[in-house]
A = this chain, B = another copy of it.
Amino acid sequence: MTLEQKVLAKNDQLAQENRRWLAERGIVALNLTSSPGAGKTTLLERTIRECPGMPIAVIEGDQETLLDARRIESTGCPVVQINTGAGCHLDAQMTRGALESLDPARESVVLIENVGNLVCPALFDLGERAKVVIVSVTEGTDKPLKYPHMFAAAGLVLINKIDLLPYVDFDLDTCTRYVRAINSGVEVFPVSATTGAGLADWYDWLSEQRGPIAAAPIEVHLSRD
């Protein structure tokens, strides 16, 4: 077993403990991953405002600053910030510490905003029900092919910033086809966290995760070679 495999195996074990901890409380946790600046925090702010009936708590991951936690705090939502320093992703142990400090309500939804990085967070299970991968139209159509591990790990893909489509060279259908080439069953929702376009699909998906039908975690198979 290589050192990387050992680190991942240890993380997987802690993630399973998080999964049990969450299940005992009926809490659904989702792990939001993307490139830096793809709009994760804006999506969270809008989701919190537009889903007042849904009890939401947030874990914010960043290398440095409390900027995102402050943005979430100003919505009135409970939030804990994790600063990873030089670290490039959240892991299951950091997540457990944040969950205990956050102490989210039973039957609530915990949205975990990972460090902006389309590579490393793909390998680290936090105990979430699913990874929600956000890619923005300004990043280019080819991103699913160039960063396949993240898209293979996705339980849902949001293509964000569709309000900028008139100004950039991006093909929504081709990008969706690329995502499905890597992860055939995954749902893909084009959205704009800035204008609100398409977000009804995301809110419906979020609500479905809380239903009894979603009691088992979505299976994702990561290649770790």
B-binding residues in A (CB < 8 A): 3, 35-37, 62-65, 67-68, 85-86, 88, 115-120, 122-123, 136, 138-140, 142-143, 145-149, 161, 163-164, 167-168, 223-225
Copies in the complex: 2
CB distance from A141 to the nearest CB of B (A): 10
Give CA–CA (A139, B138) in the complex, Å. Answer: 9
| Structural contact, A85 and B116, CB atoms closer than 8 A | no
Q: Known contacts A117-B118, A225-B86; is A65 also within 8 Å of B138 by CB? A: no
What residues on B are CB-neighbors of A164 within 8 Å? 138, 164, 167-168
Question: Main SS of chain A's interface residues?
Answer: loop
A37 touches which one: B62, B88, B120, B143 (CB < 8 A)?
B143
CB distance from A177 to the nearest CB of B (A): 15
| Structural contact, A146 and B85, CB atoms closer than 8 A | no
What residues on B are CB-neighbors of A123 within 8 Å? 86
Can you offer 13 A-B residue contacts whose CB atoms are under 8 A?
A35-B36, A35-B116, A36-B146, A37-B136, A63-B147, A86-B122, A86-B225, A88-B88, A88-B119, A120-B120, A136-B138, A164-B167, A164-B168
What residues on B are CB-neighbors of A115 within 8 Å? 119
Q: Known contacts A86-B224, A88-B120, A120-B120; is A147 also within 8 Å of B36 by CB? A: yes
What residues on B are CB-neighbors of A145 within 8 Å? 64-65, 67
Give CA–CA (A52, B117) in the complex, Å. Answer: 35
CB distance from A183 to the nearest CB of B (A): 14
Known pairs A68-B146, A116-B146; list 10 more (Cβ under 8 Å): A35-B35, A35-B36, A35-B118, A37-B138, A63-B119, A64-B146, A85-B225, A88-B120, A117-B118, A119-B120
Give CA–CA (A148, B86) in the complex, Å. Answer: 9
